[in-house]
A and B are shown apart, each in its own frame.
Chain A
């Protein structure tokens, strides 16, 4: 079983190293700048950051490919052990570098897997590097990969791989980021919602039907947004007085809540507010929010 455990480390390490380089490259491509790189390279003097980032990624890629190539018959013997020693050296250097980064730049992520590794370095990140270093050391001297001779051995290898992956996942802050991305539901405050959709929801609502007889135009005079709500103002007349009919439309869901309020246009704005906010419509908007419609800003209420 110990021999199987040692053999399993080689493809595992190779996949992690190639994946790490690919994630870093993805980040650089996304940012269109290699200076964007985070992690231990942030500790290098500025002129050395770019070559350091390229060297680390290149080293990881070369080791990943080297581990795979030497795991089969091509590089059996000393080339295989040389690559595995180099991998162990990389991971144990990373342990020291991450510890240093944690001390000198506690807010920095390790950058191990590009954008996913923005969480500040902690004991989990360092333990993971140590675990991979131990795995690389264990793989030195392991025989080349071959078909397992019995179903029992295969089951053992799969169980070992799953257990090690679970341990690595537990030590990886990146898993949390992956889960957030997979199950990401953007809060309504941050979601872009076209005005046309808001107007369509408004016109199919009961408050619209109730207040539309007072409107003198169906073209809004003002539209603005407060988090999850969009406000739409129409000019109107009620009992021979000019009014503004203000609708508040919630921005999430199918049958969205819509509220309506009437603001008397001829009511003067209090002088101190007029002077303070000059031409802005803050007073009007706050009056609508607080007194006329009285909605909570972050929920349909």
Chain B
């Protein structure tokens, strides 16, 4: 959470104490749209991608001198709702996110964003899927941008994955998306995975949505805590991350990411916000082209 904003720096409260992060002319900040850092307000929940730069003042050697954290990008109050529409009242939607034990989320589409959202999501009707990014308000998400295009099928009937015969191996390409922390600790580095072993992770793998099917990309069965390697094909960054949750959206959406070229269909990873940002993704883009491999 943001505790202080000055023209040259911000102070962010994390679990291990307050952190001072310098701003630079190149710092990009987002609060519903790209804004100047002066638009940030104390109290805003923020995600910051920072780089560490060595300070060369005071005659210290370049190798061992003090360092400073500089903010590359700051996202404030950003949120995302992904799931099946259960009720519609004008621009006000109720969305079942498919997370076990979670009540449907309220989404209000900002007036100025209604047309762009409707272009990508032409069927704002119960049963169809929606995935929007916006700013968090008291008890709802003010949607400002579509995160993907609406699949033509109903949420309960995603298409079947192509069959694979024989040996299964090698990296699996697709799209990596992000989700809000929910019950997870803020700053957790992990992924939501669509193919948790139903025999051992049954309660988590079973979604509240009836008729929930397998993901449209064939993924090996894993468990919570399994380690996978995720590579951002757009930035060439990779990390080994634990599976920390079951992703309902990754089982429902059979979409592609076009962040850098066109990815194969299917969500291979539903990253925590911190992991998505650490791998070089921009939260407002919604996805990056990714490759998943089982970590050795």
- Chain A residues engaging chain B, CB cutoff 8 angstroms: 30-33, 35-37, 42, 46, 49, 107, 115, 118, 177, 180-181, 183-190, 192-195, 223-228, 230, 276-278, 280-282, 285-286, 290, 296-298
Contacts and interface: CB of A to CB of B under 8 A. Distances in A.
B138 interface: no
Interface in B197-232: 197-201, 218-227
A177 B163 CA distance: 8
Nearest to A47: B122
Contact of B166 (A30, A42, A185): A185
Interface stretch (B19-27, B65-73, B151-159): B151-159
| Number of chain B interface residues as a range | 35 or more
Main DSSP-derived SS at the A contact region = mixed
A195 B163 contact: no
B89 to A, nearest CB: 22
B90 interface: no
Contacts of B152: 35-37, 42, 49
Contacts of B159: 31, 36
Interface string B160-174: 101111111100000
B248 interface: no
B153 A195 contact: no
B294 A180 contact: no
B294 A31 contact: no
Contacts of A186: 163-165
Pick from A177, A186, A286, A297 the residue with the most CB of B within 10 Å: A297
A226 B200 CA distance: 11
A195 B162 contact: no
A298 B168 contact: yes
A180 B163 contact: yes
A18 B185 CA distance: 57
Contacts of A177: 163
B154 A226 contact: no
Given A33-B157, A107-B262, A280-B242, A183 B165 contact: yes
Interface string B227-265: 100000000000000101000000000001000001001
9 contacts: A30-B157, A107-B256, A180-B165, A189-B220, A190-B164, A192-B199, A224-B197, A297-B294, A297-B296
Nearest to B240: A286
A30 B224 CA distance: 31
Pick from A33, A37, A281 the residue with the most CB of B within 10 Å: A33
A225 B200 contact: yes
Given A31-B159, A118-B162, A297-B296, A227 B154 contact: no
A115 B159 CA distance: 9
A14 B294 CA distance: 49
Contact of B294 (A230, A280, A298): A298
A280 B226 CA distance: 10
A181 B256 CA distance: 25
A190 B220 CA distance: 5
B46 interface: no
A42 B122 CA distance: 14
Contact of A224 (B123, B156, B225, B256): B225
Given A195-B199, A298-B294, A280 B224 contact: yes
5 A-B pairs with least C-beta separation: A189-B220, A187-B168, A224-B223, A225-B197, A282-B242
Nearest to B161: A190
Contacts of A190: 164, 168, 195, 218-221
B222 A278 contact: no
B164 A35 contact: no
Nearest to B202: A195
Contacts of A281: 225
Contact of B163 (A31, A32, A42, A181): A181
A31 B157 contact: yes
Contacts of A223: 200
Given A187-B167, A225-B199, 15 more contacts: A35-B154, A36-B152, A118-B162, A185-B165, A186-B165, A187-B165, A187-B168, A189-B168, A190-B221, A224-B197, A224-B201, A224-B223, A227-B294, A297-B294, A298-B167
Given A226-B222, A227-B220, A278-B188, A194 B199 contact: yes
A297 B227 CA distance: 11
A226 B157 contact: no
Nearest to B187: A276
Contacts of B154: 31-33, 35
Nearest to A36: B153
Contacts of B220: 187, 189-190, 227-228, 298
Contacts of B162: 118
A31 B153 contact: yes
Nearest to A179: B165
A46 B122 contact: yes
A32 B153 CA distance: 9
Nearest to A286: B227
Given A115-B160, A194-B199, A227-B220, A280 B244 contact: yes
B169 A298 contact: yes
B222 A227 contact: yes
Given A31-B159, A189-B168, A280 B225 contact: yes
B200 A224 contact: yes
